[in-house]
Amino acid sequence: MLYVVMAYLWASILLYVLMGGADFGAGILEFLSTKKSKEQTRKAMYRAIGPIWEANHMWLIIAIVILFVGFPVIYSTVSIYLHIPLVIMLLGIVARGTAFSFRNYDAVQDKMQTVYSKTFMYSSIITPLFLGIIAGSAVSGRIDPLATHFADAYIFSWLGLFPVTVGIFTVTICGFLAAIFIIGETKTEAERQRFIQKAKHMSLAAIAAALLVLIAAQRDGVPLASWLFGNPISITCVVLAALSLIWMWVSLFRQSTKWLRIIAGAQISLLLVAITYEHYPVLINLKNSDGLSLLIHKGTDKTIHALAVALLAGSVFILPALFYLLYSFNKQEEA
């Protein structure tokens, strides 16, 4: 049952990156759009993510609940040492969620719309930036439970070249996912062209950011290369992701958009597999001591069992409903 719980944790992180990421990316694309095309971007976005946008963010809740029920030591360690980036991320989530729905539901269209839009766009960048920083700090062994100074314990646990570049990389990934996702939802050829263009730009930005991450890893002494190339599974994943990048570029230039979403989804999944496979079963690497392992720092068997049953039972309700939601609104769009 422990493996069921871990699988759900992994899957909810992946789904949050994919679905939540595309959702954040929509705000990033709006930010990057020219003044004239902001309105169009917004419209395409509401059409694409409107019905599912609340659901997209549930994956984060599922992941956090799995952590605090099943792996409480990991949850409380992260909560203590990454307090500051977590608070900033939360403020981003609050600002973004409320601004998005207030913009949609304000009965009067006036200058408040600008306030909502600005809030939405900036928080769409800040939130994934800090999500990336949190992930980067968690895996790179910056957290130091033995630190005695405030700055060492609570600031440099996350403020560093590597986490920040991971944050930037996360932002570019979100923008890229959003562009790919919205291509499939566009109504006109001009709109389609615009988002294909955006997808190209964002994938270049993501590649550039990935290079930054590699350089930062080198400078901060993070053994990123050995995570990615340390074992056959990770190597295979990285190679496949690289190959699919070529496939994606060819498709983008040929404008055959049929497989784009699947390719993009596969790329992100492959990267996550590559990183997590080498780290497994450690979720959090600590400075000067052993990392926090999912196999050791877990709740009692009874808790894990109950949690697994709850997750499995929940899926019986959630997954069909979610698929039906996606399916029926896609069908409506076509009709």
Partner 1 sequence: MDDFIAARSQMALSLGFHIIFSCIGMIMPFFMAVSHFKWLKTGNIVYRNVTRAWSRGVAIFFATGAVSGTVLSFELGLLWPEFMKHAGPIFGMPFSLEGTAFFIEAIALGFYLYGWNKFNKWFHWFTGVIVGVSGLASGILVVAANAWMNSPAGFDYVNGQYLNIDPIAAMFNDAWFSQALHMILAALTATGFAVAGVHALMILKRKNVLFHTKAFRIAAVFACAGAILQPLSGDISAKDVAKRQPVKLAAMEAHFKTEEKAALILGGIPDEQNDTVHYALKIPGALSFLAHGNFKTPVTGLEAFPKDVRPPVAITHYAFQLMVGLGMLMLLIAVFYFFTLWRKKKWLEKRWLLKLFAAAIPVGFIAVEAGWTVTEVGRQPWIIYGIMRTRDAVTPMPGIVYSFYIFTAVYVSLSVVVVALLYRQVRMVGKLYDVS
Rule CB under 8 A: which residues touch partner 1? 50-52, 54-55, 57-58, 60-62, 64-66, 68-70, 72-73, 75-80, 83, 86-87, 90-91, 93-94, 97-98, 100-102, 104-108, 150, 153-154, 299-300, 302-303, 306-307, 310-311, 313-314, 317-318, 321-322, 325, 328-329, 332
**Cβ closest to partner 1, residue 259 vs residue 323:** 323
Q: By C-beta, is 198 or 298 nearer to partner 1?
A: 298
The residue (of 15 and 202) whose beta carbon lies closer to partner 1 is: 15
Start-end of H helices in 52-188:
53-56, 58-70, 72-81, 83-105, 112-139, 150, 161-183
DSSP count for the chain of H helices, then E strands: 15, 2
Q: Tell me the backbone φ, ψ of residue 282, rounded to 5 degrees.
A: -80, 130
* Minimum distance of partner 1 from residue 141's CB (angstroms): 20
**In the complex, least distance from residue 165 CB atom to partner 1, rounded to whole angstroms:** 24
Q: What is the DSSP letter of 154?
A: I
**By C-beta, is 119 or 251 nearer to partner 1?**
119
Q: What is the CA radius of gyration of the chain?
A: 20
Length of the chain: 335
Nearer to partner 1, 99 or 222 (CB): 99
**In the complex with partner 1, which residue's Cβ is closer, 242 or 309?**
309
Omega of the bond leading into 281 within 30 degrees of 0 (cis):
yes
CB of 294 to partner 1, least distance (A): 14
Q: What is the SS3 assignment for 192-250?
A: HHHHHHHHHHHHHHHHHHHHHHHHHHHHHCCCHHHHHHCCHHHHHHHHHHHHHHHHHHH
Q: Kindly state the smallest distance separating residue 296's Cβ from partner 1, in Å.
A: 14
8 Å CB contact between 284 and 76? no
The minimum distance between CB 79 and partner 1, in angstroms, equals: 3
Least distance CB 283 / partner 1 (angstroms): 15
